[in-house]
Homo-oligomer: A and B are copies of this chain.
Amino acid sequence: MGKMVKEILSWYASDSPGTKTNLARVMNHGRLAGSGKFVILPVDQGFEHGPARSFAVNPPAYDPQYHFQLAIDAGCNAYAAPLGFLEAGATEYAGEIPLILKMNNHDLLHDEKDPLSAVTASVKDALRLGCVAVGFTIYPGSAKAQIMYQECREMIEEAKSYGLASVVWSYPRGTDLSKDGETAIDVVAYAAQIAAQLGAHIIKVKLPTAHIEQAEAKKVYEKAGVPIGTLAERVRHVVQSAFDGKRIVIFSGGVTKENDEAFYDECRGIRDGGGFGSIIGRNSFQRQRNHALAFLSTVMKIYVGELK
């Protein structure tokens, strides 16, 4: 097993061998196997944004098995989806790719300012479906954040008790945050810290901007001279904010970008800032399959340094 994998596992010394095994399964799978880098395919947009907004641009993607096959063929480390999508392919693809069960979901038919995701699956479901990890979304900043924090830590505790790993999507949102604030560097770093404190093994955040949302935080960033000018610097700060780099932090691909090169530049920023990789949904399955495979291949080459 790669030295990087061993080193990363050493950061999770309080976990059981079972949880370490499942983390290792993710790190030892696909084209990035052994590198300590991650490209994960998540497909929860059908629930989160609706089917047409998610799949009409590439209709084969309406089929759940399309995504299993895409993740496998692209050499992703894992495939993450809600209960229904996983149930619709877990038997057919048993053992072919590590699975992450997305445990809570939110839809746009009711889109409140202070969102609360609904718990839509259980840890026992994850075991039944052969998953390596459970995933959970928290919305720091929401008036309902306390509820999600408690659900999240209960899910993580139960997952650990069965030797599973956990992934936390930490997406700031709520009445107290401006739209820009959702991706402000101070807010994203804070969101990463919260997920780490809740016991997450893998933390997913959005790429941060140079904006600073909180007045009190602004003083500190300026006084301490925290470098946040480039994307790489901001990624480095977020990673530092997750236990000084001792938790796996990956970044969401975000809305579909027409321009592949712009996306690659973001990946270079993640890589150069010490980020652990990407979790790329819409930019994968909203591209035509061949395009998506080539696109993901380039992303992976960037992460392992085969491409600058």
Query: Are B109 and A190 in contact, with the CB atoms below 8 A?
Result: yes
A sample of 8 cross-chain residue pairs with beta-carbon separation below 8 angstroms, ordered by A number, consists of: A18-B128, A21-B130, A52-B237, A57-B223, A62-B243, A63-B243, A84-B243, A112-B143
Give A contacts to B, CB under 8 Å.
Answer: 1, 5, 9, 11-25, 27-28, 46-47, 49-53, 56-57, 59-60, 62-64, 66, 82-88, 90-92, 94-96, 105-112, 114, 116-122, 124-125, 127-131, 140-143, 145-147, 149-150, 153, 157, 161-163, 172, 174-177, 186-187, 189-194, 196-200, 214, 216-217, 220-221, 223-224, 226, 237, 240-241, 243-244, 246-247
Query: Are A52 and B186 in contact, with the CB atoms below 8 A?
Result: yes
Query: Are B50 and A189 in contact, with the CB atoms below 8 A?
Result: yes
> In the complex where A52-B241, A153-B120, A241-B52 touch, is A187 in contact with B27 (Cβ < 8 A)?
no
> In the complex where A21-B94, A24-B94, A118-B150 touch, is A85 in contact with B16 (Cβ < 8 A)?
no
**A237: nearest residue on chain B (CB-CB)?**
B52
A64 contact from B17, B199, B243, Cβ within 8 A: B243
Smallest CB separation, A187 vs chain B (Å): 7
In the complex, A118→B152 CA distance in Å?
Answer: 11
Collect the chain B residues with CB atoms within 8 Å of residue A244's CB: 60, 62-64, 66
Query: Are B17 and A50 in contact, with the CB atoms below 8 A?
Result: no
Smallest CB separation, A183 vs chain B (Å): 13
Query: Are B157 and A125 in contact, with the CB atoms below 8 A?
Result: yes
Copies in the complex: 5
> In the complex where A96-B1, A109-B174, A125-B157 touch, is A193 in contact with B226 (Cβ < 8 A)?
no
In the complex, A84→B49 CA distance in Å?
Answer: 32
Query: Are A107 and B140 in contact, with the CB atoms below 8 A?
Result: yes
Smallest CB separation, A204 vs chain B (Å): 16
Query: Are B176 and A111 in contact, with the CB atoms below 8 A?
Result: yes
Query: Are A84 and B196 in contact, with the CB atoms below 8 A?
Result: yes
Query: Are B130 and A18 in contact, with the CB atoms below 8 A?
Result: yes
> In the complex where A18-B129, A82-B197 touch, is A95 in contact with B5 (Cβ < 8 A)?
yes
Smallest CB separation, A282 vs chain B (Å): 12
Query: Are A94 and B17 in contact, with the CB atoms below 8 A?
Result: yes
Query: Are A90 and B145 in contact, with the CB atoms below 8 A?
Result: no
In the complex, A27→B177 CA distance in Å?
Answer: 44
A129 contact from B17, B120, B175, Cβ within 8 A: B17
Collect the chain B residues with CB atoms within 8 Å of residue A62's CB: 240-241, 243-244
In the complex, A130→B273 CA distance in Å?
Answer: 32
Smallest CB separation, A238 vs chain B (Å): 9
Collect the chain B residues with CB atoms within 8 Å of residue A85's CB: 197, 243
Query: Are B198 and A84 in contact, with the CB atoms below 8 A?
Result: yes
